[in-house]
Structure 1
Amino acid sequence: MSVLVGNVWWMGWNLVLALVPLGLSRYLFGRRSRPPWLLWTGGVVFVAFLPNAPYVLTDILHVPADMAQTNDDPWLAAAVLAQYAVLIGVGFLAYVLSLVRFERWLAGRGLSPRAVLGIDVALHALCAVGILLGRVFRFNSWDVVTDPWGLAEMLRVPQPRTVVVLVVLFAVLAGGAAVLRALPAILTRVARSV
């Protein structure tokens, strides 16, 4: 039981950080127009915090250690897995919903579908870099302001392993987002065929 309680604080904090970009997207890219200075400033903050939402995918690395603490109790193991499923599911859903709202806002401003797709791909790539910086190098979103030179130094000379990790992260983000977007249409078709 202590493993469940021990996860509450850090999982809760990661969920709060994962929901920040969703809240920003609702505020900035909603129906009401915002002044340009607010959109630019808020947009930078949105991009800086966006990697926090899919970052929770990497928290799966903690599962083996937590499962070892269940002492083969199947109910406790199921509860730990459910805890991680909620964390990862909510975080990744917040990521996709944030992107969808931003993309709709861009399309509503007259950007072509191709331009919106290009921005989407760029955001997946930036989020892959952000996740790597957070998970491996332990940087935070606010380090863009508090430690920009430290961030620049990490990005200056990428190692070959780093490039592979970035490609995998990008593929997971782009592929996962595509699947999550397609899911409602797929479920609708399946429901009609049953």
Structure 2
Amino acid sequence: MRKLNYIHIFIFLSVVTIVTLGLYYVAADWLDQRYFRFLIWNLFLGWIPFVFSYASYLLSDVKWKGSAWLAVASGLLWLLFFPNSSYIVTDLVHLTARSSRYYGGNGVDYTYWYDLSVVLMFVWTGLLLGFLSMYQLQEVIYHRIGRWTSWIFVLAGCALGSYGVLLGRVYRLNSWDALTNRETLIELMRESVSRPSLAFCLFFGTFIITIYATLYYLVNTRSSRETQKSAGSPEVDLQALR
């Protein structure tokens, strides 16, 4: 599993976030509407799991007796907020809710494509934040425990993440309700045990794990090629000497 430079990753994600916000404000000023301003708050929530995962990542290398417990606590907080990074995908529903504004006598209005571009930028930024936050924790588990355990963690995280999106989108719960409103949370969790909810989690969980596996493959395939190239270079030099 390839180790990433998370300082560079943070800078990259910050730039992507700035571009996303810039696109939103340009479109908002151009069209003179602020309907999608809630996406800014949702993107802020999408950053929180990355912060907690990075804290766990740093604490895992600290040689202090209590650092392991702090890393676990930060990891649990990551799990609590992780659904926010992929929750933004469900904000695409607002394009459907506003469909009457997008259709005119000549078909689809340009406004639709502007709004679609803005929403997709927020979606993509959220998915990147989710992927990289999970990748950090998988990297810790991979090197501390093992490969298979790290992938069990990924599968469990995607499953619980999809359930968190269900609770947020369908039952309108927030991540902090697990700490501040437990009775309502437990009641709605019981209510959510149904066939449609299971189907939602199955489909959305499959979507999340597919995105994760795709990005994981792209990151680590490059690393494998670089390793093979560096391993093969001495042989090339030896042949040149012959």
TM-score bucket of the superposed structures, by smaller chain: 0.7 to 0.9
User: What's the CA shift string for 1:147-193, capped at 9, x where partnerless?
Assistant: 1222222222511111111111111111121123234548xx9xxxx
1:7 corresponds to which residue?
36
Where does the alignment leave 5 or more consecutive residues of structure 2 unmatched? 1-30, 226-242
Alignment pair present for 1:126 and 2:160: yes
1:106 aligned residue (141, 145, 150): 141
Where does the alignment leave 5 or more consecutive residues of structure 1 unmatched? 190-194
Measured in 2, the distance between the counterparts of 1:136 and 1:64 equals 16
Measured in 2, the distance between the counterparts of 1:107 and 1:12 equals 33
Measured in 2, the distance between the counterparts of 1:40 and 1:178 equals 24
Distance change in 2, residues 1:161/1:179 (3 Å)? same
* Segments ≥4 residues shifted beyond 6 Å: none
**Does the CA-based 8 Å contact 1:66-1:80 persist in structure 2?**
no
Alignment pair present for 1:96 and 2:128: no
* One-letter code aligned to 2:199: V
Return the offset for 1:70: 4.2
Aligned-pair Cα RMSD in Å: 2.2
**Does the CA-based 8 Å contact 1:67-1:80 persist in structure 2?**
no
Distance change in 2, residues 1:65/1:154 (3 Å)? closer
What does 1:155-166 align with in structure 2 at a 5 Å threshold? 155-156=189-190, 158-166=193-201
2:54 aligned residue (26, 39, 50): 26
Alignment pair present for 1:150 and 2:184: yes
Measured in 2, the distance between the counterparts of 1:101 and 1:84 equals 26
* One-letter code aligned to 1:80: D
SS of match in other structure, 1:137: coil
Alignment pair present for 1:140 and 2:191: no
Identity of aligned residues (%): 25
Alignment pair present for 1:64 and 2:96: yes
* Greater C-alpha Rg: 2
Return the offset for 1:32: 4.3
1:192 corresponds to which residue?
none
Relative contact order (C-alpha < 8 Å, sep 6+): which is higher? 1
* One-letter code aligned to 1:82: S
SS of match in other structure, 1:138: coil
